[in-house]
Amino acid sequence: MARIPFIAGNWKLNLSVAEGVALVQGLKDKVPAGVEVAVCPTFVALYPVAQAAKGSSVGVGAQDCYWKETGAFTGEVSPTFIADAGAQYVVLGHSERRQFFNETDQTVNQKLKAVLAKGLVPIVCIGETLTEREGGQLEAVLKRQVVGALDGIPAAQLETLVIAYEPVWAIGTGKVATTQQAQDAHAFVRAQLRAVVGELADRVRIQYGGSVKPDNAKELLGQPDVDGALVGGASLKLADFAAIVAAAKA
């Protein structure tokens, strides 16, 4: 089944407000028909970047959220506030959140429920470390993360779900999974989704993330189960990100 390619740029802790606005303004006329594109700035840049993207084909997402709407949760941001800032997407469970900020499959699940309830599009990140891959745990890790994230959520509520498969060992390292490794992992994830949500698995888009660049994007995106990319470093440069977006159309 044909799935619309989705390219999202995760800016992480990079780009000032002015730099983010400038990048989006340059990107607006570089999104081809038939490709979905979003950028995910820091929380402080969310509103101005969303304003800069307004009326264009560039969507905007947050890099994380909290599952409570309001309350005594210093430093947290709820899906309601994210939507109010003009965002449409939320990245959940990124490996850096898991590694540095104690994110677990259970907290990803709570956040996913909150994001869906607000009508935002979730980008749920999964992926194995190098130790896990070399230890033969790839499939066990991916299955645990998929099942844990979706626990207790009916398939009918997951129509907008996006999964981002990011082998942790390839994020920011310059290492990239081979096209076959990427395809095999994506096919396995889709099989796990099918076991959990049935036929919806054929409509869920699974992005690849991990040192995606203009020179490898076309080959990676050409794999049958790779439906887009969650781009890190290359999304910080307009020319590089635009080239990856163009590769999704090719």
Q: How far apart (Å, rounded) are the C-alpha atoms in residues 195 and 226?
A: 19
Greatest Cα pair distance, the chain, in angstroms, is: 48
For residues 206 and 225, the answer to whether their CB atoms sit within 8 Å is: yes
Which residue of the set 36, 103, 128, 166 is catalytic? 166
> How many other CB atoms are found less than 10 A from the CB of residue 221?
24
With H, G, I as helix, E, B as strand and everything else as coil, classify residue 64.
coil
Tokens of 135: 């230890």
CA neighbor of 150 nearest in space, from 204, 187, 110? 110
Q: How far apart (Å, rounded) are the C-alpha atoms in residues 32 and 91?
A: 23
> How many other CB atoms are found less than 10 A from the CB of residue 100?
9
Q: How far apart (Å, rounded) are the C-alpha atoms in residues 145 and 109?
A: 10
Give Cα 3 to chain centroid, integer Å: 16
Which residue of the set 36, 94, 96, 103 is catalytic? 94
Bridge partners (DSSP) listed for residue 230? 8
DSSP state of 58: E
Q: 94 catalytic, yes or no?
A: yes
What CA–CA distances, in Å, run from 244 to 102, 111, 221? 31, 29, 9
Catalytically active residues are 94, 166
